[in-house]
């Protein structure tokens, strides 16, 4: 780099100075580093988000399985209750006690073929 000398230094008006150049990172290297860091940050965030989603879906599946078991148990209880309500002994008991019905005599029975 050239610099101007003062008059007291002599007749040389311009002199070359060879100083140590400043260490400058090329713009393309800085851009590459920035993009690399952004990519790594994004990839890390995506990985953490996906792991959280997997855990959350695991909880949802567990709750759905519990609900399924409860519904199956309720279904079994309702089937037993239906079988009890359909039993012929119960129907006959209600007919005799509550509705005051009685069994027909053999001459009241009509057989249809």
As a whole-number percent, the residues of the chain with pLDDT over 90 amount to: 65
Give the span between the Cα atoms of 46 and 8, in whole angstroms: 68
Q: State yes or no: pLDDT of 27 exceeds 90.
A: no
Extract the tokens encoding 13. Answer: 């008006």
Distance of CA 84 to the CA centre of its chain: 43
- What pLDDT, on the 0 to 100 scale, is given for residue 28? 83
Q: State yes or no: pLDDT of 108 exceeds 60.
A: yes
Q: What is the DSSP letter of 14?
A: E
Higher pLDDT: 107 or 58? It is: 58
Range 44-73 average pLDDT: 98
- What pLDDT, on the 0 to 100 scale, is given for residue 29? 86
- What pLDDT, on the 0 to 100 scale, is given for residue 90? 93
- What pLDDT, on the 0 to 100 scale, is given for residue 19? 61
Higher pLDDT: 29 or 82? It is: 82
The domain spans of the chain are 26-102
Distance of CA 71 to the CA centre of its chain: 23
Q: How far is CA 32 from CA 26, 41, 45, in A?
A: 10, 14, 20
- What pLDDT, on the 0 to 100 scale, is given for residue 4? 54
């Amino acid at each position: 780099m050239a610099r101007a000398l003062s008059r007291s230094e002599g007749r040389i008006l311009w002199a070359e100075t060879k100083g140590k150049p400043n260490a400058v990172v090329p713009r393309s290297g800085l851009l590459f580093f920035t993009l690399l860091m952004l990519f790594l940050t994004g990839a890390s965030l995506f990985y953490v988000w996906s792991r959280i989603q997997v855990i959350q879906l695991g909880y949802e599946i567990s709750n759905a399985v519990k609900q399924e078991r409860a519904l199956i148990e309720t279904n079994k209880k309702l089937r037993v209750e239906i079988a009890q309500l359909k039993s012929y002994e119960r129907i006959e008991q209600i007919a005799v006690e509550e509705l005051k019905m009685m069994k027909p005599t053999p001459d009241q029975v009509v057989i249809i073929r």
